[in-house]
Structure 1
Amino acid sequence: AGSIPATKVEITVSCRNLLDKDMFSKSDPLCVMYTQGMENKQWREFGRTEVIDNTLNPDFVRKFIVDYFFEEKQNLRFDLYDVDSKSPDLSKHDFLGQAFCTLGEIVGSPGSRLEKPLTIGAFSLNSRTGKPMPAVSNGSGLWMESLRTTGLEASGGVPGKKCGTIILSAEELSNCRDVATMQFCANKLDKKDFFGKSDPFLVFYRSNEDGTFTICHKTEVMKNTLNPVWQTFSIPVRALCNGDYDRTIKVEVYDWDRDGSHDFIGEFTTSYRELARGQSQFNIYEVVNP
Structure 2
Amino acid sequence: MESQLGYKVQLFISCRNLKNVDGIGQGYSDPICFIYQKSGPGAQANWIQIGRTEEIKDNLNPDFQKSFLISYFFEKHQPLRFEVMDGDNKTGKYELIGFAETTLGAIMGAKRQTHQVELTHQQKKGQQGQIIIKGDSVKDSNWEITMKINARGLPSTTSCCICADNNPFFEIYRGSNADSHDQQWFKVYNSIQANGTVNPVYNFFKLTGQQLCNSDRNLPILVKFMNRHGLENIYLGSCVVTLQKLLDSREFQLTHEITNARTGMMVLENIRFVEKPSFIEYLRSGWQINLHVAVDFTASNGESHLPTSLHYLGAMNQYEQAIAAVGSILEPYDNDRSFPVYGFGGIPRFLGSQVVSHCFPLNGNSSNPEVQGAIGISHVYRQNLPHITLSGPTYFSHVLNQVTQTIRVKQHEALYNILLIITDGEIHDMEATKDLVVQCSHLPMSIIIVGVGDEKFKLMKELDSDDALLRDSRGQTAVRDVVQFVKFKKYIQQGPEKLAEKVLKEVPDQLVSFMQAKNIKPNVQSFLQQ
TM-score (norm 1): 0.80
What is the aligned partner in structure 1 of residue 11 from structure 2? 11
Alpha-carbon displacement from aligned partner over 1:94-152 (angstroms, at most 9, x marks no partner): 2111001111111111111101111113xxxxxxxxxxxxxxxxxxxxxxxxxxxxxx3
**Structure 1 residue 176 corresponds to structure 2 residue 141:** yes
What is the aligned partner in structure 2 of residue 138 from structure 1? none
What is the aligned partner in structure 2 of residue 28 from structure 1? 30
What is the aligned partner in structure 1 of residue 170 from structure 2? 202
For residues 77-116 of structure 1, the aligned pairs below 5 Å read: 77-85=81-89, 92-116=93-117
Alpha-carbon displacement from aligned partner over 1:151-194 (angstroms, at most 9, x marks no partner): x3xxxx13xx4311110001111022211111111122211123
The one of 264, 273, 286 aligned to 2:235: 264
Contact 1:12 1:63 in 2 (8 A): yes
Total equivalences in the alignment: 245
Give distance in 1, aligned partners of 2:47 and 2:3.
Answer: 19
Greater share of helix: 2
Contact 1:85 1:93 in 2 (8 A): no
Give distance in 2, aligned partners of 1:70 and 1:177.
Answer: 27
**Consecutive unaligned residues in structure 1, runs of 5 or more:** 122-151
**Structure 1 residue 60 corresponds to structure 2 residue 92:** no
Tell me the SS of whatever aligns to 1:104.
helix
Contact 1:28 1:53 in 2 (8 A): yes
- The one-letter amino acid paired with 2:111 is P
Give distance in 2, aligned partners of 1:61 and 1:275.
Answer: 21
Quote the sequence identity (%): 29
Give distance in 1, aligned partners of 2:117 and 2:35.
Answer: 15
Give distance in 1, aligned partners of 2:90 and 2:74.
Answer: 38
Alpha-carbon displacement from aligned partner over 1:64-104 (angstroms, at most 9, x marks no partner): 1112223221110000111122555xxx3221110011111
Contact 1:36 1:44 in 2 (8 A): yes
- The one-letter amino acid paired with 2:127 is K
What is the aligned partner in structure 2 of residue 49 from structure 1? 53
The one of 218, 224, 228 aligned to 1:252: 224
- The one-letter amino acid paired with 1:233 is F
**Structure 1 residue 286 corresponds to structure 2 residue 253:** yes
Give distance in 2, aligned partners of 1:169 and 1:87.
Answer: 32
Give distance in 1, aligned partners of 2:105 and 2:147.
Answer: 35
What is the aligned partner in structure 1 of residue 190 from structure 2? 218
Give distance in 2, aligned partners of 1:99 and 1:50.
Answer: 18
What is the aligned partner in structure 2 of residue 240 from structure 1? 212
Give distance in 1, aligned partners of 2:168 and 2:106.
Answer: 38
Contact 1:14 1:59 in 2 (8 A): yes
Residues 267 and 115 of structure 1: CA distance in aligned 2, closer, same or farther (over 3 Å): same
Give distance in 1, aligned partners of 2:210 and 2:140.
Answer: 8
205-214 vs 62-71, which deviates more?
A: 205-214
What is the aligned partner in structure 2 of residue 140 from structure 1? none
Give distance in 2, aligned partners of 1:64 and 1:258.
Answer: 31
Contact 1:204 1:250 in 2 (8 A): yes
**Structure 1 residue 274 corresponds to structure 2 residue 245:** yes
Give distance in 2, aligned partners of 1:164 and 1:171.
Answer: 23
How big is the alpha-carbon RMSD for the aligned residues of Structure 1 and Structure 2?
1.7
Alpha-carbon displacement from aligned partner over 1:242-263 (angstroms, at most 9, x marks no partner): 012111111111112341x111
What is the aligned partner in structure 2 of residue 37 from structure 1? 39
Tell me the SS of whatever aligns to 1:222.
coil
More relative contact order in 1 or in 2 (CA 8 Å, sep 6+)?
Answer: 1
What is the aligned partner in structure 1 of residue 155 from structure 2? 190
- The one-letter amino acid paired with 1:237 is G
Q: Give the CA deviation at 1:283.
A: 2.4
Q: Give the CA deviation at 1:60.
A: 0.5
Tell me the SS of whatever aligns to 1:245.
coil
What is the aligned partner in structure 2 of residue 135 from structure 1? none
Contact 2:136 2:176 in 1 (8 A): no
Give distance in 2, aligned partners of 1:262 and 1:208.
Answer: 25
**Consecutive unaligned residues in structure 2, runs of 5 or more:** 261-530
Residues 174 and 228 of structure 1: CA distance in aligned 2, closer, same or farther (over 3 Å): same
TM-score (norm 2): 0.45
Tell me the SS of whatever aligns to 1:183.
strand
Contact 1:32 1:79 in 2 (8 A): yes
